[in-house]
């Protein structure tokens, strides 16, 4: 397989992963079984880093227990034969407790980036960088800066 073909395959895998994990239908997080290596190394996940399919699914289920009515917008998706980088915005309703803050019912929005390392068509490593300051400030978990 050429580098260009691997880059296309990697991009397709990450697009499927993002579509399933950010779908309005929570059961679609099962896309993790097809797109993520059985053991995965993750970095930067709030609440702890997933390390396998079950913990990766638990991350999304836990987030969705606190935030509903998700809109997920991808600004860019750049791929090569090993890595895919995604830049995105998440907009959700804060409907459950999160970071010690009770549900506010507020519509909140934050941006982030994720870098995925793939091997043989599976995500083996993820680096996640979310604008947690924006999220926590919007739900009242952090006071607004003066």
| pTM for the whole structure | 0.92
Average pLDDT over residues 108-124: 97
| Mean pLDDT computed over every residue of the chain | 94
Phi, psi of 39 (to 5 degrees): -115, 125
Q: Are 29 and 21 in contact (CB under 8 A)?
A: yes
- For the chain, domains (ranges, CATH) are 3-138 (3.10.450.50)
DSSP string, 116-144: EEEETTEEEEEEEEE-HHHHHHHTTSSPP
Specify which residues 92 forms β-bridges with.
108
Q: Is residue 146 very low, low, confident or very high in pLDDT (cuts 50, 70, 90)? A: very low
pLDDT confidence of residue 145 = 55
- Taking residues 36-65, what's their average pLDDT? 94
Identify the CA nearest to 37 among candidates 22, 8, 17.
17
């Amino acid at each position: 397989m050429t580098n260009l073909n691997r880059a296309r395959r990697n991009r397709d895998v990450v697009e499927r992963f993002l579509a399933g994990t950010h779908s309005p239908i929570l059961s679609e997080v099962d896309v993790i079984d097809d797109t993520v290596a059985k053991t995965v190394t993750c970095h930067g996940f709030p609440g702890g880093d997933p390390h396998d399919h079950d913990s990766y699914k638990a991350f999304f289920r836990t987030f969705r227990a606190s935030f509903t009515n998700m809109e997920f917008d991808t600004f860019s998706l750049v791929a090569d034969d090993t890595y895919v980088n995604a830049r995105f915005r998440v907009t959700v309703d804060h409907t459950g407790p999160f970071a010690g803050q009770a549900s506010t019912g507020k519509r909140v929005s934050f941006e982030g980036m994720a870098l995925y390392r793939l091997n043989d068509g599976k995500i083996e490593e993820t680096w996640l960088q979310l604008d947690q300051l924006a999220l926590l400030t919007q739900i009242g978990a952090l006071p607004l800066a003066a």
